[in-house]
Amino acid sequence: MIRKVIIITSDKNGCGQTLFSLLLASKIKQKGYKTALVETSMTPYLPYYMGYNTAQPLDIVPGGILPPMSQFAYPYLSPLLFMNQNNRPVFWEKEDVVKFIKKMIINTNWGDVDILLLDMPLCQLEMIKVLKVFFSDKLSQSLLLIDSKTKESEQAKTYLHYMKESTTLLKVIQSPLRTKSKNTDKKIVLPFIDEVWDEKTTVSQIPSLLIDSYEDPLEEVAKVCLSIF
């Protein structure tokens, strides 16, 4: 049973949305609520943060797909776990994406979940109306990450207006300003990554290394999310 669903999205790519989503799920779980996370992007990345071997098949139990557990001890799903692992472009029709996401959620044995977080890229925001019908009254809230450098842009204002029109916008979070990398050849796109990044750091280590840097915004946003109960 899933009690509440909250969408997390952003006004542009590269805001650290997926990283923030997985850490927020961890913070909500720490507060004693049963939490789960679903990445809906069809260019997914979440399992790499989780250290999951994407070549390993998902477990199937009588109640459906058994979602893998994150290093923070909550279940999660991503389209990457169902995809052929060969690196090749795949083009999805919008209707097919919606069907896939619905089936991914329906066919999973979630158990008892207080809050399901949907990590949704901006290119999928048109799906919100469909998903609201699908989830019924369970989905009506959202969180929006705004890039600090472009928070006054027309694009940011447009997405802010859209999210307010289509959902109850619980919180607007400014993505932290990126610091300059010492290695100018390396394109850094994740907030705060410069604080922990070195050549020995693996992708799956990044969430645990950054969780302290996110402590204040995570605490504030988690309280807002839990206020819906």
Q: Which of 104, 111, 102, 120 is nearest to 74 (CA)?
A: 111
The region that residue 193 occupies, defined by phi over 0 for left and psi between -120 and 50 for alpha, beta otherwise, is alpha
Q: What is the pTM of this model?
A: 0.89
Task: Choose among 50, 95, 85: nearest CA to 68.
Answer: 50
Q: At residue 150, does pLDDT exceed 70?
A: yes
Distance CA 6, CA 14 (A): 20
**Token output for 26:** 């961890």
In this prediction, residue 216 carries a pLDDT of 82
Residue 22 C-beta-side C-alpha neighbours within 13 Å:
27
Q: What residue segments make up the domains of the chain, in order of their start?
A: 2-226
Q: With H, G, I as helix, E, B as strand and everything else as coil, classify residue 128.
A: helix
Sheet with 2-10, strands from edge to edge, namely: 76-77, 35-39, 113-119, 2-10, 139-147, 168-175
The pLDDT > 90 percentage for the chain reads 50
Q: Which CATH superfamily is domain 2-226 in?
A: P-loop containing nucleotide triphosphate hydrolases (3.40.50.300)
pLDDT at 133: 93
- Whether the per-residue pLDDT at 178 is higher than 80: the answer is no
* Per-residue pLDDT, 179: 46
**So what's the pLDDT on residue 120?**
95
Pair type for strands 59-61 and 64-66:
antiparallel
What average pLDDT does the structure give for the chain? 85
Average pLDDT over residues 8-23: 88
Residue from 164, 189, 186, 191 nearest 175 by CA = 191
Question: What's the DSSP call for residue 195?
Answer: G
Contacts within 8 Å (CB) and 24+ apart, 57-61? 58/82, 61/109
User: Is 201 or 98 the better-scoring residue by pLDDT?
Assistant: 98
